[in-house]
Structure 1
Amino acid sequence: MSALTSVARISLCRTGVGGVLGQLPGASAAYGRWALHRRDVGGVFSGCFDSWHEAIAAIPAGRLAGWDNDAAAAVFRGPLPRQPSVYAAKFWLSQLLRPGDRVLDLGGGAAVTQRLYTALASLPERASWTVVETPAVARVGASLADTGELRDVTFVDTLDAAGPCDMFFSAGAMQYMPDGLDVLVGALAKRPRAIVLNKLPLSRDEDYWTLQNFGPAVCPYRVWRRDDFITRITDQGYALVDAWDVAELSCDIPFHPRLCVPMFSGLTFIRADAATY
């Protein structure tokens, strides 16, 4: 990204200048047309909405919506990402996983974290890893497994098919789901011993939806108020034992400086009655 582009992004997304410009007639609509129709960009945000339904209704006609389509799923046939925050997640997996453990990876793509983890260390003996994905992404993962590119991982397209787990893991996926946090809280009824979450857009004060154009498609995107998100989990009998910054990711929405999330978050929780690790 050029210095000029960086300055423009900061001005529009993180300062009062953006808020003022957003009041100009037609400015937000013109930006939305540019941001949501392009297919040669990724990670571009537009708009602020009160609900998933309101956000998805704003996706332009002719654009694919969400991750359950072949164009979006093809993203996972590319090279593995090299993001610094992955190492914090891998640290906690290495500390918490035990022989025979079952890992449920919600929205794990083509087993991205499992592949990065096993490139450096072996899973504990008899440990299993199940990725829960959209049907389109699960098909890509299964096809890579069939060719031998993936090992020791199972792909399913419903939580029920995954069954109970000892470790609930998710990295950068819950924000795309209409009920991502509720899905997590519901899964806690089965009492996994530990929860490791990475690449979460958590805001100090705001809770809202926006739209993200990630290239092949456009998707509603949830930002949670940090304290509320954490409380929903600790109220289920879990203790927050670590949190880290994900400096490589941010949520910048032009004309909405108060909604800026300058860096994402990672969180690790341990069930209160299983707090030793």
Structure 2
Amino acid sequence: MNSNQNDTIVLVTGGSSGIGKSIGIYLVAQGYIVYGTSRNPSKYSDFDAFTLLELDVADIGSIESAVSIIEQKHGRLDILINNAGAGITGPIEEIPEEEIVRNFTTNFFGPINVTKTVLPIMRKQGSGLVINITSIAGYMGLPYRGIYSASKAALEMTTEAWRMELKEFNIKMTTIAPGDFATNIAAGRYHAPVIDDSPYKKPYGDTLKLMDDHVDLGSDPLKMAKVVFQIIKTEKPKVHYKVGAFMQKFSIVLKRILPDKVYEKMLMNHYKL
């Protein structure tokens, strides 16, 4: 990492709102040069916290063009924060396949393709840091959030493998798994509709309400920004970081130590299933 923060270039995908925006604003205040991305920056014409580039993680051409803007201007890119993500809920049986594919495109293939585009620049400069924002939901299969859990778990596992492949190039990679944060992710989530004659109508409807309550009571995204900053300042980042309420983080510990069926029962009690 550059010792002088003033010429350290950071790219945060999905930087127009929520956690990405908080991270960007915080890093600008610490003296970093930050670029955020949005699929449609013109919707944020009064956004002036940092530069917003047009980037759709589902479109390789748009990824390449955003990254080349940074490379042409600065000749380097030091830190990539893969933050763009999308929620998805529903009984797995009832979620249309195209919605499952779309979610994996945003949450899994998107970060992979952005990283692939950035790595040659980092390798050329002999250093770099990639932070993949995953989710505490990626550590466990949550009822009616199974596809979301799976997409984030896939990114966790890929990061474990990838960081070993990148070590010889002095490129670091890690994940941060947030719990529930008070952002607009619930509004941007794909909700499979609660179908009147569905066998899942009551349990799914109840779980949906519970999930929305949790997000509304979530932590301040500034917490995430501070952890990102700590990781940037760390010489040897850990493989995984978790940020969230004590019980959310503790649930990962419990999953490691409890028998599977006991843990499953605990989750079902939590979701009143």
Does the TM-score normalized on the shorter chain lie above 0.5?
no
The structure that is helix-richer by fraction is 2
Q: TM-score normalised to the size of structure 2?
A: 0.35
The structure that is strand-richer by fraction is 1
Q: TM-score normalised to the size of structure 1?
A: 0.35
